[in-house]
Structure 1
Amino acid sequence: MDIGTAKPSPEELSLVPHHLINIVNPGEGFSLAQYQRLAYRAINDIQQRSKLALLVGGSGLYVWSVLEGWGIPQVPPDPEFRHSLEKKAAKVGEDKLYQQLMKVDPVAGQRIDRHNIRRVIRALEVQRGTETPFSQLQYKEAPPFNALIIGLTADRVELYHRIDLRVDEMIRQGLVDEVGKLVNMDYDSNLPAMSSIGYKQISMFLKGELTLAAAIQQIKF
């Protein structure tokens, strides 16, 4: 999954050591807790060598879990339970599932975007596995390092223009072929990796559910 993730090129990877790249296959589960644990291990290793670690996002959820030292409930995924809730959401709507979360854990419900079905399901999964509200199991503990946070900003019009150019470039580089190869390797389109932005829309195009133009438009917006 090189093109759709904007993975650094082999030339870029050769310039400076990179960590946590090419460590799992698309079909493997990879949780926030696993990422956090491996990130801390890599940062510690870098500091032990008197080098400076750069944590580059990526998903804000994963970055903040490291920077703020989130306590993450050690509840293993339950594929059968998750699938049942996904089917329920598809049948009766995402809002019904969100209301289910609000009944058992309104604090978590207020923190989680009602349209982020994956996080809603995870909160319900943790509550079911521990019989404790997800929100009561969350805490923050300062990590064993200091961090300087640098955020880049841009004019919104310019930002959207750059996104459009990036998507067009990914298509030019062969995103359709990349997704097609993954599908031919039997990676299901419902996998978390295959349902991420770009891969989901191109998968829908390959299944005849979208035109290529519509898929590209959805990726951009």
Structure 2
Amino acid sequence: MEAYELITILGPTASGKTSFAAALAASLDTEIISADSRQIYRSMDLGTGKDLSDYTINGKEIPYHLIDICDPGYKYNVFEYQHDFFRVYQEIKNRGKRPLLCGGTGMYIEAVLKGYKLLDVPPNPVLRESLKEKTLEELTRILASYKVLHNKTDVDSAQRAIRAIEIEEYYKTQAPDSREYAPIHSLIIGIDIDRELRREKISKRLRSRLDEGMIDEVRTIISSGVHPDDLIYYGLEYKFLTLYILGQLSYEEMVGQLEIAIHQFAKRQMTWFRGMERRGSTIHWIDATLPTEEKIVITKKLLTQ
């Protein structure tokens, strides 16, 4: 079999994929490229679950990339990610190492593995002006007229929905017709975590991060000049904590609604990964509860098959 050019570790939130990826990278003497659409932002640490301590294995820091590369408020996209990924990917290969991609943003992962040609969609001020007074429900209906809404994060906020409509409108006349990058032959490892265990870990982790100061993190970002709407745009923790800080939700409402939203997010991640399998990607699922060393042994065996 042709040698794998890349190792990909994917899984839903709270599956333990990052700590496993770091241990595997240490064992293979390689570097990690993050595939997380929110960890690219500086200062957004607790809310995105960076857990940077996971990248230190037995006192050795594992090099990681595409984390903390943008300021909060910026709207990074999959087009930019694809270009940043291939730049870093080539740099790591030039150092004689096989890169390790790790994350839970299925769209980012699939865009680089398949080498999709993507377009850098510019803002459309006329379209934005025509949509700015519409409700989220109205925007959702408009977006649904362009495509089937598999990705519910597109309608997580009015800003996101307008941007999604803007992209669909642009693609109507500028549809991509060829690949910009060659597909990558990657071993794909999925961290398979039982639904109930996943829910338990998500709930426990949420409360831990609230205790660690996640609300203060969001307050600090807002006080630095980032508009609340721009934080709400990122969804999940930043959406609900911002609404709490603005006084639009009580603490109990914020925690309850956020917990439900994270569980729904994890379910959507798994839906995307199952979709990747239907679209031809082979994902080797490994039980999340196995000891790290056993996961490493399994992965190394797969690399030689």
With normalisation by structure 1, the TM-score equals 0.81
| Structure 1 residue 41 corresponds to structure 2 residue 80 | no
Q: Secondary structure at the match of 1:52?
A: coil
Aligned to 1:104: none
Q: Secondary structure at the match of 1:152?
A: strand
Aligned to 1:124: 165
**Partners of 1:172 and 1:166 in 2: CA distance:** 10
Q: Check the 8 A contact 1:70/1:141 in 2, yes or no.
A: yes
Aligned to 1:55: 101
Opposite residue 188 of structure 1, the aligned amino acid is H
Opposite residue 7 of structure 1, the aligned amino acid is K
Which of 62, 65, 69 aligns to 2:111? It is 65
Which gives a bigger RCO, structure 1 or 2 (Cα 8 Å, sep 6+)? 2
Q: Which has the higher strand share?
A: 2
Q: Check the 8 A contact 1:167/1:220 in 2, yes or no.
A: yes
- Pairwise mapping of residues 172-183 of structure 1 onto structure 2 (< 5 A)? 172-183=211-222
Q: Secondary structure at the match of 2:203?
A: helix
- Pairwise mapping of residues 18-167 of structure 1 onto structure 2 (< 5 A)? 18-78=64-124, 81-82=127-128, 84-85=130-131, 87-90=133-136, 93-101=138-146, 109-110=147-148, 112-113=150-151, 116-117=154-155, 121-122=162-163, 124-129=165-170, 132=173, 136-137=175-176, 143=182, 145-167=184-206
Q: Which has the higher helix share?
A: 1
**Partners of 2:232 and 2:101 in 1: CA distance:** 21
Unaligned stretches of 5+ residues in structure 2 = 1-43, 261-305
Q: Check the 8 A contact 1:68/1:141 in 2, yes or no.
A: no
> Percent identical across equivalent pairs?
28
Return closer, same or farther for 1:80/1:20 CA change in 2, 3 Å cut-off: farther
Opposite residue 121 of structure 2, the aligned amino acid is V
Unaligned stretches of 5+ residues in structure 1 = 102-108
| Structure 1 residue 171 corresponds to structure 2 residue 210 | yes
Q: Deviations over 1:130-153 (max 9, x none)?
A: 652x7x436657635421111111
State the 1:4 CA deviation: 0.6
Q: How many residues align?
A: 211
Q: Secondary structure at the match of 2:120?
A: coil
Q: Secondary structure at the match of 1:151?
A: strand
Return closer, same or farther for 1:220/1:87 CA change in 2, 3 Å cut-off: same
